[in-house]
Amino acid sequence: MFRIALDMMGGDLGVEATVSGLSLYRNTHDCSDVVFDLFGDKATLSKFVQKTNCEIHDTGTNVISATEKPAKAIKAGRGTSMFEAISWVAQGNADAVVSSGNTGAYMALSKMLIGTIDGIDRPAIVSIIPNIVNSTVMLDLGANTDCSPTKLLQFAIMGKAVSRVLQQIDNPRIGLLNIGTERTKGTDALEEAYELLANAQGLNFIGFVEGTDIAKGTADVIVTDGFTGNVSLKTMEGTIRYIAHTLKAGFSSSLMSKIGYLFCRSAIKTMKDAIDPRHHNGAPLVGLKKISIKSHGNSDAVGFANAISVVVKLAKSGFVSNIEKMISEIEKGNADENEDN
Amino acid sequence: MFRIALDMMGGDLGVEATVSGLSLYRNTHDCSDVVFDLFGDKATLSKFVQKTNCEIHDTGTNVISATEKPAKAIKAGRGTSMFEAISWVAQGNADAVVSSGNTGAYMALSKMLIGTIDGIDRPAIVSIIPNIVNSTVMLDLGANTDCSPTKLLQFAIMGKAVSRVLQQIDNPRIGLLNIGTERTKGTDALEEAYELLANAQGLNFIGFVEGTDIAKGTADVIVTDGFTGNVSLKTMEGTIRYIAHTLKAGFSSSLMSKIGYLFCRSAIKTMKDAIDPRHHNGAPLVGLKKISIKSHGNSDAVGFANAISVVVKLAKSGFVSNIEKMISEIEKGNADENEDN
């Protein structure tokens, strides 16, 4: 039996989105081996949630607001749905946790309550981004704004583990994001990180990649610092919205176009589905001793259901022990190499 | 009379693209007040280029290759089409220069031969990116990978000047790219840059903006360091290609869709034109004592013609003296303020 803790109160759309999302997930997936621990206002939740395989933990209407500083959330977060859901998992009562709440607070509380695994300084936020061939695992996407070469190496290892579970690629190609593919481009930190990744045991490092490579599918895993990753991901979101807007304007520009739209609705839908961020919702915070998934703040039912599917997949895969094993193997490999020298 | 120096040998598509691009520009614009100085192989150029308003400067087949290091270009570039075109402008024989050649070499040679204006340390690469409302002036896009707060302030000033000329906005809204809009987000350097921009005289600074804001049109000018800007711009390019690919796949998926495509071809074309990078080609290297425009390495005739239209517009606008004036005003304003304190 797997147990998943859900923060039912987090996110801009509140309990309506999480309740409908959970219901959508349960209607479309086999849930016979999963129990959900729901943290939130019992009065509301008990009205709408089916009782089977669900346990409600009453935290009333105590929530961490979207604008709360992480430091304040650490000090005064006890009793909120987010704090208690994470705490429940940290104490070993469940395997994984999901929240659509305040990212900074969620990150800080996950790190404090659950803790990072040996060899990892700080967790990274990972996203699975669709590309022309298949998908790209990209990290970090906002947790670490300033990244040392060692951290970038840790991201590469974590990215490999995520790729194995979510992309089913045994030995994923790992690229390091830069402003050119030549060895001489970029900052000193990237130059150093290049050396570290190229010499690490067990990593299929393919060198520097550029912004265009994310959508091209040049690499299965793309490693970058959280600042660049966050800007890049949000640029992508904005570009998608811009194109959708332009396309819509084009279709309503003439009667011919309007008729054409009726014929090719399914083609447009295929594209819209492929780029719909809700279908890619659920970003693992990787490097923690338990599984912690960040769902987008404005997730609706479809998005939240997708985040649940990601967390269940990771929980069933033995995700954390997988990463721990890989890190110790790489460290052992590097240690052996040092002995040889 | 305005004189524009063109490096006819630079770029992946060589002299064919530049010759056809120039010809396209001349056929679609009034060129009565412009003279073009063409640098390249006279034997080839004289065969294809109309003589009116054109002067060919023979540099034979000497070119700076795409992989040449900037340092080598500085040492051994003399005699190449790029070096001589820039040099011609630096010596005051023409008002502006355009090249599709090696970006690093072009940047280094422009800086060395032309020099930066007082108060600017290094030039920035600027691009005009289409957005939902109109367009965004974004800089830096690759010239400066590591940016101090002072440089970001200089970029803001240069961005304002570009916006005035190319967007016709008198007092453009200037945003600083970050991973969130809250004051507390981001790195220490960004925090410092925020202070500088907020306190600078004559800047309509609207605060931090995010990656999504580029396409949203929240700001007329978006300021960032060259590393983030380069990754963001290339992410955009990749996303556009990905969506075009998905859309094409959707349209060829069924007979209905294929028929639909025939009806809405013009709608698709509207979108394609709006996002076609060739229509936005011609990135000013701002902060130099003369106008220097970088055309994309793989520019075809359409792209090169667009770069020429940008350079002519800037030359006629008194672009450089405009920036010089704004910088001295801001410096004066800041100095007065310090006296008052």
Written as tens digits, the pLDDT of chain B (341 aa) is 999 999 999 999 989 999 999 999 999 999 999 999 999 999 999 998 888 899 999 999 999 998 888 899 999 999 999 999 999 999 999 999 999 999 889 999 999 999 999 888 889 999 888 898 889 999 998 777 778 999 999 999 999 988 988 888 989 999 999 998 887 777 889 999 999 999 998 899 999 999 999 999 999 999 999 999 999 999 998 988 888 888 777 777 778 777 777 777 777 777 677 777 788 889 999 999 999 999 998 899 999 999 999 999 999 988 898 888 877 777 776 666 656 54
- The CATH number linked to B56 is 3.40.718.10
Q: Chain A: give the shortest CA distance to residue B281, in Å.
A: 17
Q: Residue B225's closest chain A neighbor by CA?
A: A228
In a domain, residue A170? The reply is: yes
Same domain as A258, residue A136: yes
Same domain as A266, residue A301: no
Q: Residue B143's closest chain A neighbor by CA?
A: A179
Same domain as A89, residue A74: yes
pTM for this entry: 0.87
Query: What residues in A contact B125, CB-CB < 8 Å?
Result: none
Residue with tokens 């040889």: A340
In a domain, residue A209? The reply is: yes
The vertex-A253 CA angle with A252 and A257, nearest 5°, equals: 70
A128 vs B94, higher pLDDT: B94
Same domain as A276, residue A146: yes
**Cβ contacts of residue A150 below 8 Å, gap of 6+?**
A121, A196
Within an 8 Å CB–CB cutoff, is residue B179 touching chain A? Answer: yes
Question: CB–CB of B242/A134 below 8 Å?
Answer: no
Same domain as B237, residue B298: no
Query: What residues in A contact B274, CB-CB < 8 Å?
Result: 246
Same domain as A142, residue A36: no
**β partners of residue B55:** B37
Query: Closest by alpha carbon to A83, among A49, A51, A59?
Result: A59
User: Average pLDDT for residues A245-252, to the nearest whole number?
Assistant: 79
In a domain, residue A325? The reply is: no
Query: Closest by alpha carbon to A285, among A86, A119, A130?
Result: A86
- How many Å apart are CA A53 and CA B261, to the nearest integer? 48
Query: Which residues 139-158 of chain B have a CB within 8 Å of chain A?
Result: 142, 145-146
In a domain, residue A330? The reply is: no
Task: Give ipTM to 2 decimals.
Answer: 0.85
In a domain, residue B16? The reply is: yes
Q: Nearest by CB to B132, from A214, A245, A268: name it.
A: A245
CB pairs under 8 A between A and B: 214
Query: Closest by alpha carbon to A154, among A120, A178, A126?
Result: A120
B191 vs A251, higher pLDDT: B191
In a domain, residue B25? The reply is: yes
Range of the domain at A184: 121-280
Same domain as A50, residue A26: yes
Query: Which residues 103-122 of chain A have a CB within 8 Å of chain B?
Result: none
In a domain, residue B333? The reply is: no
**CB within 8 Å: A240 and B243:** yes
Q: Nearest by CB to B216, from A186, A238, A265: name it.
A: A238
Question: CB–CB of B240/A242 below 8 Å?
Answer: no
Domain final residue pick, A233, A258, A280: A280
Within an 8 Å CB–CB cutoff, is residue B74 touching chain A? Answer: no
Same domain as B261, residue B132: yes
Question: CB–CB of B109/B69 below 8 Å?
Answer: no
Same domain as B276, residue B134: yes
Same domain as A138, residue A56: no
Same domain as B99, residue B209: no
Q: Nearest by CB to A246, from B177, B186, B274: name it.
A: B274
Q: Report the C-alpha dihedral over residues A106, A109, A114, A119, rounded to 10 degrees.
A: 90
In a domain, residue A311? The reply is: yes
Same domain as B107, residue B126: no
- In 3-state terms, what secondary structure has residue A304? helix
Overall number of domains in chain A: 2
Mutation site, A148, A239, A268, interface B, largest B CB count within 10 A: A239
